[in-house]
Amino acid sequence: DSGVTQTPKHLITATGQRVTLRCSPRSGDLSVYWYQQSLDQGLQFLIQYYNGEERAKGNILERFSAQQFPDLHSELNLSSLELGDSALYFCASSVAGRDQETQYFGPGTRLLVL
């Protein structure tokens, strides 16, 4: 158990809908990362937050957005969903979001868009 929690574990929805994925980092970690794992693209970095502020952006679609709240939990919002958004979405956390830190991963949320 990494100490990172993600809810829900599974999500099934229809095209065009909007969903919210939630992540609670390890106690004491200030930085949260979101990754997408799909069969064709592999594991890709989406976005990073540090202490409530966006720090880095990767291959995140404009239909996707995220935020980190004062209690440090984070939410990833996916809207106008398409079949291709079906994937496993991971949240990770680290202490201060620096480049030599270990990122600890949650169990993931599996999203299926029908």
Where on the chain is the footprint of other proteins (CB under 8 A)? 2, 4, 31, 33, 35, 42-45, 48, 55-56, 58, 90, 92, 97-100, 102-108
> Is 38:86 a contact under the CB 8 Å cutoff?
yes
To the nearest whole angstrom, how small is the minimum distance from the Cβ of residue 111 to other proteins?
15
Closer CB to other proteins, residue 16 or residue 111? Answer: 111
Phi, psi (rounded to 5 degrees) for 28: 95, -15
Measured from the CB atom, the residue of 14 and 98 that comes closer to other proteins is 98
Amino acid present at 52: G
Nearest-angstrom CA–CA distance, 112 and 114: 6
Provide, rounded to whole angstroms, the least separation between the CB of residue 15 and other proteins.
25
Number of H helices, E strands in the chain: 0, 11
Smallest gap from Cβ 96 to other proteins, in A, equals 10
